[in-house]
Amino acid sequence: MRKGESSLTSLISAFGRAYHSQFDTPKIFDDFMAENLITRKEYHDIKENMIQGIPFFNKEIAEIYKDQPEEILKWVTQVQLSPTPLARAAYCENVLDNEIRLGIKNYMILGAGLDTFALRRPELENILEIFEIDHPLTQAFKKERLTEIDQNLPSNLHFIPMDFATTFAYDNLIEKGFKNDKTFFSLLGVSYYLTKKEFAKLLELLFAQVPAGSSIVFDYADERLFTEKGLSNRVENMVKMAEASGEPMKASFPLLEVEKILEKSNLLIYEHLSPDKINELYFRNRHDYLTAFETIHYIHAVKK
Protein backbone atom coordinates (compact mmCIF):
# COMPACT_ATOMS: atom_id res chain seq x y z
CA MET A 1 0.00 0.00 0.00
CA ARG A 2 1.58 3.27 -1.10
CA LYS A 3 1.28 6.37 1.06
CA GLY A 4 -2.04 8.12 0.56
CA GLU A 5 -3.64 5.33 -1.47
CA SER A 6 -5.73 4.03 1.43
CA SER A 7 -7.04 7.54 2.04
CA LEU A 8 -7.89 8.00 -1.64
CA THR A 9 -9.78 4.71 -1.83
CA SER A 10 -11.84 5.53 1.25
CA LEU A 11 -12.48 9.07 -0.02
CA ILE A 12 -13.76 7.87 -3.40
CA SER A 13 -16.09 5.40 -1.70
CA ALA A 14 -17.36 8.16 0.61
CA PHE A 15 -17.82 10.42 -2.42
CA GLY A 16 -20.06 7.82 -4.08
CA ARG A 17 -22.19 7.46 -0.97
CA ALA A 18 -22.40 11.23 -0.50
CA TYR A 19 -23.40 11.78 -4.15
CA HIS A 20 -26.14 9.18 -3.87
CA SER A 21 -27.46 10.68 -0.64
CA GLN A 22 -27.59 14.16 -2.18
CA PHE A 23 -28.81 13.54 -5.72
CA ASP A 24 -30.27 10.08 -6.36
CA THR A 25 -33.91 9.08 -5.95
CA PRO A 26 -35.05 6.66 -4.66
CA LYS A 27 -32.28 5.93 -2.17
CA ILE A 28 -30.68 2.50 -2.10
CA PHE A 29 -28.58 3.37 0.94
CA ASP A 30 -28.73 6.81 2.51
CA ASP A 31 -25.36 7.60 4.06
CA PHE A 32 -26.25 11.16 5.03
CA MET A 33 -23.05 11.46 7.09
CA ALA A 34 -20.62 10.66 4.26
CA GLU A 35 -20.33 14.23 2.94
CA ASN A 36 -19.17 15.40 6.38
CA LEU A 37 -16.01 13.32 6.05
CA ILE A 38 -14.97 14.87 2.72
CA THR A 39 -13.58 18.38 2.40
CA ARG A 40 -14.95 20.65 -0.30
CA LYS A 41 -11.62 20.48 -2.12
CA GLU A 42 -11.57 16.68 -2.01
CA TYR A 43 -15.16 16.53 -3.28
CA HIS A 44 -14.34 18.97 -6.10
CA ASP A 45 -11.13 17.14 -7.08
CA ILE A 46 -12.80 13.72 -7.19
CA LYS A 47 -15.71 15.16 -9.17
CA GLU A 48 -13.39 16.74 -11.74
CA ASN A 49 -11.30 13.57 -12.05
CA MET A 50 -14.44 11.53 -12.75
CA ILE A 51 -15.61 14.00 -15.39
CA GLN A 52 -12.20 14.23 -17.05
CA GLY A 53 -11.85 10.45 -17.01
CA ILE A 54 -14.99 9.78 -19.05
CA PRO A 55 -13.06 8.85 -22.26
CA PHE A 56 -11.57 5.90 -20.35
CA PHE A 57 -14.99 4.72 -19.18
CA ASN A 58 -17.01 5.34 -22.35
CA LYS A 59 -15.97 7.39 -25.38
CA GLU A 60 -19.52 7.46 -26.76
CA ILE A 61 -20.90 8.95 -23.54
CA ALA A 62 -17.99 11.40 -23.52
CA GLU A 63 -19.07 12.67 -26.92
CA ILE A 64 -22.82 12.69 -26.25
CA TYR A 65 -22.48 14.69 -23.02
CA LYS A 66 -19.35 16.68 -23.83
CA ASP A 67 -21.10 19.93 -22.84
CA GLN A 68 -22.94 18.45 -19.84
CA PRO A 69 -20.38 17.72 -17.10
CA GLU A 70 -23.02 16.99 -14.46
CA GLU A 71 -24.58 14.30 -16.65
CA ILE A 72 -21.12 12.79 -17.19
CA LEU A 73 -20.57 12.75 -13.43
CA LYS A 74 -23.94 11.10 -12.91
CA TRP A 75 -23.14 8.46 -15.54
CA VAL A 76 -19.69 7.60 -14.14
CA THR A 77 -20.92 7.53 -10.56
CA GLN A 78 -24.05 5.50 -11.21
CA VAL A 79 -22.61 3.06 -13.76
CA GLN A 80 -19.08 2.48 -12.48
CA LEU A 81 -18.58 3.80 -8.98
CA SER A 82 -21.63 3.36 -6.77
CA PRO A 83 -23.77 0.28 -7.55
CA THR A 84 -21.84 -2.30 -5.52
CA PRO A 85 -20.91 -0.14 -2.49
CA LEU A 86 -24.49 1.12 -2.14
CA ALA A 87 -26.32 -2.19 -2.47
CA ARG A 88 -23.90 -4.23 -0.38
CA ALA A 89 -24.05 -1.63 2.42
CA ALA A 90 -27.86 -1.66 2.30
CA TYR A 91 -27.90 -5.45 2.45
CA CYS A 92 -25.31 -5.67 5.20
CA GLU A 93 -27.02 -3.17 7.48
CA ASN A 94 -30.41 -4.80 6.92
CA VAL A 95 -28.95 -8.14 8.03
CA LEU A 96 -27.21 -6.41 10.94
CA ASP A 97 -30.46 -4.86 12.19
CA ASN A 98 -32.02 -8.32 12.25
CA GLU A 99 -29.00 -9.75 14.06
CA ILE A 100 -29.27 -6.99 16.67
CA ARG A 101 -32.87 -8.04 17.31
CA LEU A 102 -31.58 -11.60 17.76
CA GLY A 103 -29.12 -10.48 20.41
CA ILE A 104 -25.66 -9.92 18.93
CA LYS A 105 -23.35 -7.82 21.11
CA ASN A 106 -20.42 -7.04 18.79
CA TYR A 107 -20.20 -5.60 15.29
CA MET A 108 -16.79 -5.94 13.65
CA ILE A 109 -16.25 -3.88 10.48
CA LEU A 110 -13.24 -5.17 8.57
CA GLY A 111 -11.84 -2.64 6.12
CA ALA A 112 -13.99 0.13 7.59
CA GLY A 113 -12.52 3.03 5.62
CA LEU A 114 -14.74 6.08 6.19
CA ASP A 115 -17.69 4.00 7.38
CA THR A 116 -20.28 6.07 9.26
CA PHE A 117 -22.47 3.39 10.86
CA ALA A 118 -21.56 4.27 14.46
CA LEU A 119 -22.17 7.96 13.75
CA ARG A 120 -25.55 7.35 12.12
CA ARG A 121 -26.87 5.01 14.81
CA PRO A 122 -26.43 6.71 18.22
CA GLU A 123 -29.40 4.77 19.60
CA LEU A 124 -27.19 1.65 19.66
CA GLU A 125 -24.59 3.11 22.03
CA ASN A 126 -25.65 0.95 24.97
CA ILE A 127 -26.68 -2.06 22.89
CA LEU A 128 -23.85 -2.85 20.47
CA GLU A 129 -20.05 -2.63 20.66
CA ILE A 130 -18.62 -1.53 17.29
CA PHE A 131 -15.04 -2.39 16.31
CA GLU A 132 -13.60 -0.74 13.20
CA ILE A 133 -10.61 -2.70 11.94
CA ASP A 134 -8.48 -1.28 9.16
CA HIS A 135 -4.94 -0.73 7.92
CA PRO A 136 -3.14 1.67 10.30
CA LEU A 137 -2.66 4.33 7.57
CA THR A 138 -6.34 4.32 6.62
CA GLN A 139 -7.49 4.40 10.21
CA ALA A 140 -5.11 7.21 11.14
CA PHE A 141 -6.49 9.25 8.24
CA LYS A 142 -10.07 8.69 9.40
CA LYS A 143 -9.34 9.58 13.02
CA GLU A 144 -7.59 12.76 11.90
CA ARG A 145 -10.57 13.66 9.72
CA LEU A 146 -13.01 13.07 12.58
CA THR A 147 -10.92 15.39 14.75
CA GLU A 148 -10.85 18.05 12.03
CA ILE A 149 -14.64 18.17 11.81
CA ASP A 150 -14.98 18.04 15.60
CA GLN A 151 -17.13 14.93 15.44
CA ASN A 152 -18.29 13.54 18.77
CA LEU A 153 -17.66 9.80 18.94
CA PRO A 154 -19.98 7.35 20.69
CA SER A 155 -18.51 5.38 23.58
CA ASN A 156 -19.26 2.06 21.84
CA LEU A 157 -16.96 2.81 18.88
CA HIS A 158 -13.50 1.25 19.07
CA PHE A 159 -10.69 1.73 16.53
CA ILE A 160 -8.37 -1.24 15.96
CA PRO A 161 -5.42 -0.55 13.60
CA MET A 162 -4.52 -3.87 11.99
CA ASP A 163 -3.43 -5.22 8.63
CA PHE A 164 -6.01 -7.99 8.98
CA ALA A 165 -5.47 -9.21 5.42
CA THR A 166 -2.11 -10.69 6.42
CA THR A 167 -2.36 -11.10 10.21
CA PHE A 168 -5.56 -11.09 12.21
CA ALA A 169 -5.40 -11.46 16.00
CA TYR A 170 -7.93 -10.95 18.79
CA ASP A 171 -5.37 -9.58 21.27
CA ASN A 172 -5.88 -5.91 20.33
CA LEU A 173 -9.66 -6.29 20.34
CA ILE A 174 -9.66 -7.80 23.81
CA GLU A 175 -7.57 -4.84 25.01
CA LYS A 176 -10.31 -2.55 23.63
CA GLY A 177 -13.04 -4.38 25.54
CA PHE A 178 -14.03 -7.12 23.08
CA LYS A 179 -15.84 -9.94 24.87
CA ASN A 180 -16.46 -13.37 23.42
CA ASP A 181 -20.14 -12.73 22.73
CA LYS A 182 -22.18 -13.35 19.62
CA THR A 183 -20.59 -11.25 16.88
CA PHE A 184 -21.53 -9.96 13.45
CA PHE A 185 -18.78 -9.29 10.89
CA SER A 186 -18.87 -7.23 7.70
CA LEU A 187 -16.19 -7.85 5.09
CA LEU A 188 -17.16 -5.64 2.16
CA GLY A 189 -14.98 -4.86 -0.83
CA VAL A 190 -12.16 -7.02 0.51
CA SER A 191 -12.35 -10.58 -0.80
CA TYR A 192 -11.34 -9.59 -4.35
CA TYR A 193 -7.96 -8.37 -3.13
CA LEU A 194 -7.04 -11.53 -1.21
CA THR A 195 -5.80 -14.79 -2.58
CA LYS A 196 -8.14 -17.72 -2.00
CA LYS A 197 -5.75 -19.03 0.64
CA GLU A 198 -5.68 -15.66 2.44
CA PHE A 199 -9.46 -15.38 2.33
CA ALA A 200 -9.94 -18.88 3.77
CA LYS A 201 -7.37 -18.23 6.49
CA LEU A 202 -9.00 -14.93 7.47
CA LEU A 203 -12.41 -16.58 7.88
CA GLU A 204 -10.84 -19.32 9.97
CA LEU A 205 -9.21 -16.76 12.30
CA LEU A 206 -12.33 -14.58 12.54
CA PHE A 207 -14.59 -17.41 13.66
CA ALA A 208 -12.15 -19.36 15.82
CA GLN A 209 -13.04 -17.46 19.00
CA VAL A 210 -16.69 -16.46 18.62
CA PRO A 211 -19.74 -18.52 19.63
CA ALA A 212 -22.21 -20.34 17.39
CA GLY A 213 -24.74 -18.02 15.82
CA SER A 214 -22.11 -15.42 15.00
CA SER A 215 -22.26 -14.48 11.34
CA ILE A 216 -20.73 -12.53 8.48
CA VAL A 217 -21.83 -10.64 5.38
CA PHE A 218 -19.30 -10.40 2.55
CA ASP A 219 -19.28 -9.77 -1.16
CA TYR A 220 -17.28 -11.77 -3.67
CA ALA A 221 -16.64 -11.93 -7.40
CA ASP A 222 -17.69 -15.02 -9.31
CA GLU A 223 -15.60 -16.97 -11.80
CA ARG A 224 -16.40 -14.50 -14.63
CA LEU A 225 -14.52 -11.60 -12.98
CA PHE A 226 -11.58 -11.65 -15.39
CA THR A 227 -13.54 -12.48 -18.55
CA GLU A 228 -16.84 -10.57 -18.27
CA LYS A 229 -16.78 -7.04 -19.70
CA GLY A 230 -20.07 -5.91 -18.19
CA LEU A 231 -22.23 -2.90 -19.03
CA SER A 232 -20.07 -0.32 -20.82
CA ASN A 233 -17.05 -2.52 -19.96
CA ARG A 234 -17.43 -1.60 -16.29
CA VAL A 235 -16.32 -4.99 -14.92
CA GLU A 236 -13.24 -4.91 -17.12
CA ASN A 237 -12.64 -1.28 -16.11
CA MET A 238 -12.91 -2.19 -12.42
CA VAL A 239 -10.21 -4.84 -12.79
CA LYS A 240 -7.98 -2.49 -14.79
CA MET A 241 -8.33 0.33 -12.25
CA ALA A 242 -7.46 -1.97 -9.38
CA GLU A 243 -4.36 -3.12 -11.26
CA ALA A 244 -3.32 0.45 -12.04
CA SER A 245 -3.72 1.51 -8.40
CA GLY A 246 -1.25 -1.11 -7.25
CA GLU A 247 -3.91 -3.28 -5.56
CA PRO A 248 -4.80 -5.89 -8.17
CA MET A 249 -7.83 -8.12 -7.79
CA LYS A 250 -6.63 -11.64 -7.06
CA ALA A 251 -9.54 -14.00 -6.56
CA SER A 252 -12.84 -15.02 -8.07
CA PHE A 253 -14.95 -17.95 -6.91
CA PRO A 254 -17.61 -20.33 -8.18
CA LEU A 255 -20.33 -20.61 -5.52
CA LEU A 256 -19.43 -24.24 -4.82
CA GLU A 257 -15.88 -23.19 -3.94
CA VAL A 258 -17.19 -20.49 -1.58
CA GLU A 259 -19.35 -23.11 0.15
CA LYS A 260 -16.31 -25.37 0.67
CA ILE A 261 -14.23 -22.52 2.13
CA LEU A 262 -17.04 -21.60 4.52
CA GLU A 263 -17.54 -25.21 5.58
CA LYS A 264 -13.90 -25.41 6.72
CA SER A 265 -14.62 -22.57 9.17
CA ASN A 266 -17.84 -24.27 10.33
CA LEU A 267 -20.00 -21.74 8.46
CA LEU A 268 -23.24 -22.32 6.56
CA ILE A 269 -24.68 -20.01 3.92
CA TYR A 270 -27.89 -18.53 5.30
CA GLU A 271 -28.53 -16.35 2.22
CA HIS A 272 -26.86 -15.88 -1.15
CA LEU A 273 -27.72 -12.98 -3.43
CA SER A 274 -26.78 -13.38 -7.10
CA PRO A 275 -26.46 -10.32 -9.38
CA ASP A 276 -30.00 -10.95 -10.67
CA LYS A 277 -31.36 -11.11 -7.12
CA ILE A 278 -29.46 -7.94 -6.16
CA ASN A 279 -30.99 -6.19 -9.15
CA GLU A 280 -34.45 -7.33 -8.11
CA LEU A 281 -34.02 -6.23 -4.48
CA TYR A 282 -32.20 -2.91 -4.89
CA PHE A 283 -32.40 -1.62 -8.47
CA ARG A 284 -35.88 -2.55 -9.71
CA ASN A 285 -38.01 0.14 -11.40
CA ARG A 286 -35.27 2.78 -11.39
CA HIS A 287 -35.11 5.45 -14.08
CA ASP A 288 -31.40 6.22 -13.89
CA TYR A 289 -28.17 4.32 -14.66
CA LEU A 290 -27.91 2.32 -11.42
CA THR A 291 -27.87 -1.48 -11.89
CA ALA A 292 -26.15 -4.35 -10.07
CA PHE A 293 -22.66 -5.32 -11.19
CA GLU A 294 -22.67 -8.43 -13.34
CA THR A 295 -20.14 -10.53 -11.40
CA ILE A 296 -20.65 -9.53 -7.74
CA HIS A 297 -22.55 -11.66 -5.20
CA TYR A 298 -23.41 -11.15 -1.51
CA ILE A 299 -23.44 -13.84 1.18
CA HIS A 300 -24.69 -14.02 4.75
CA ALA A 301 -23.07 -17.00 6.47
CA VAL A 302 -23.63 -18.22 10.04
CA LYS A 303 -21.41 -20.23 12.37
CA LYS A 304 -22.90 -23.62 13.25
Beta strand 157-161 pairing with 129-134: parallel
Q: Please measure the distance between the N-terminal and C-terminal CA atoms of the chain and give it in whole angstroms.
A: 35
Taking the chain (304 residues) in runs of 10, the rounded mean pLDDT of each run is: 64 96 98 96 96 96 97 98 97 98 97 97 97 95 96 97 92 92 97 96 96 98 98 96 90 97 98 98 97 98 98
Regarding the domain delimited by 83-303, which CATH topology (the fold level of the hierarchy) does it fall under? Answer: Rossmann fold (3.40.50)
Q: Any idea of the CA torsion for 276, 278, 284, 290, to the nearest 10 degrees?
A: -100
What are the boundaries of each domain within the chain? 5-81, 83-303
Q: In the prediction, which pLDDT does 166 show?
A: 85
Rounded to two decimals, the pTM is 0.96
pLDDT at 1: 47
pLDDT at residue number 23: 98
Q: Rg of the Cα trace of the chain? A: 19
**Which long-range contacts (C-beta less than 8 Å, at least 24 apart) are formed by 21-26?**
23/74, 24/78, 24/288, 24/290, 26/286
Q: Which residues contact 245 (CB under 8 A, 6 or more apart)?
A: 5, 9
Question: Nearest-CA neighbor of 157 among 125, 182, 112?
Answer: 125
The predicted structure's pLDDT at residue 4: 52
* Burial of 44: CB neighbours in 10 Å, binned 0-12, 13-18, 19+: exposed
Question: DSSP string spanning the chain?
Answer: --TTHHHHHHHHHHHHHHHHHHH-SS-SS--TTGGGGS-HHHHHHHHHHHHHTHHHH-HHHHHHTTT-HHHHHHHHIIIIISHHHHHHHHHHHHHHHHHHHTT--EEEEET-TT--HHHH-GGGTTT-EEEEEE-HHHHHHHHHHHHHTT----TTEEEEE--TTT---SHHHHHTT--SS-EEEEE-S-GGGS-HHHHHHHHHHHHTTS-TT-EEEEEEE-TTTTT---GGGHHHHHHHHHHHTT--------HHHHHHHHHHTTEEEEEEE-HHHHIIIIITT-SSS----TTEEEEEEEE-
**CA 222 to mean position of chain CA atoms:** 17
The predicted structure's pLDDT at residue 247: 87
What CA–CA distance (Å, rounded) separates 220 from 32?
26
User: How far is the C-alpha of 21 from the C-alpha of 150, rounded, in Å?
Assistant: 22
pLDDT at 224: 98
